[in-house]
Amino acid sequence: MAKQKPSVDQSVRLQKYIADCGVTSRRKAETMITMGRVSVNNHVVTVLGTKINPEVDAILVDGKTITSMGSDKMYVLLHKPRCVMTTVSDPEGRDTVMKYCGQITERIYPVGRLDYLAEGFLLLTNDGEVANWMMHPPGNLPKTYQVKVFGAVTEALLERLRHGVKLADGLLRPAIVRVIEQLPGKTWLEIVFEEGRNRDIRSFCEGVGMTVDKLRHEAVGGLSIEGIAPGNFVILTKKELLSAMGVDNTGLPLKGMKPYCSNKKTIALYKKGAQPTTPADYVGFRKFRKDTYFQTIQAIKEQKAITEEAARTGAPIKKGPVIKPVVREKRS
């Protein structure tokens, strides 16, 4: 009598299966399960870690059947524009990153978050495994940012940044901080972090008194958005994605992987040139921070309109609304 072949265990954790189907990330899938939005064979499941067999079990999310059959893995590198939400939809009706991927028929979702005013590197995919290690790297996955701040960045401010800034979740210390461009009233910095956790770049700069004008997430590992205009994207294979980033298929950096740095020369601060005269930690710049940015821009527009009207009619110039910056207590 022939021996029976041992059965192969086809079971998989429910949240992993949902992510692999491209519905959402694994972390968000866990939230959907605990909220009672997922059912298996018509029974609502709220216990994390529940195992299912995709071959025989019917999985529904929000009442709709999901399947991984025929779903190709997609890896889309988008240069997210400013003033766009990093979500699939927005209840306030603002533009989301999905607007720029309308021609892609596969269901993809953004990995991680870029704040509304930030632009730059954003990966969209339906590969749950890649999304998981992108958001929660198993090793130090370098990220490169370019930041434009108001005023002149002095050597003293650079040294404070290099020594690290204490944020709510601990000390954030960059691997590289350098000045790459000086404008008449603003300064561009390039900053590379090698720590695996999320980075609050605005708070990092504000921790030494600076105010961010523009924030661009430039690269992850060795993969950058260089050459991709805001709102445009490129589609990569998984092999291309991993190779360009310099990681293996689990997200761990390969030996010799170097983080992306632009080819812009480092500006020597002792060469005055076009260096702005107002220091970057000037308190007057704080009204342009995220909390009051839109109010300040609106106030500037209103004051401009008042001035233009006064010039046209000869009436005295009135002062528009005054915006007070939000002042936060310094962390020790």
Catalytic residues: 115
Quote the CA–CA distance of 117 and 85 in Å, as a whole number.
Answer: 9
Residue 256: DSSP 8-state: T
> What are the backbone dihedrals phi and psi of residue 264, each rounded to the nearest 5 degrees, phi first?
-70, 140
Cβ partners under 8 Å of residue 44, min gap 6: 36, 38
Residue 266: DSSP 8-state: P
Quote the CA–CA distance of 58 and 214 in Å, as a whole number.
Answer: 47
Map residue 24 onto helix, strand or coil: coil
Quote the CA–CA distance of 220 and 38 in Å, as a whole number.
Answer: 33
Q: Rg of the Cα trace of the chain?
A: 24
Residue pointed to by tokens 């921070």: 289
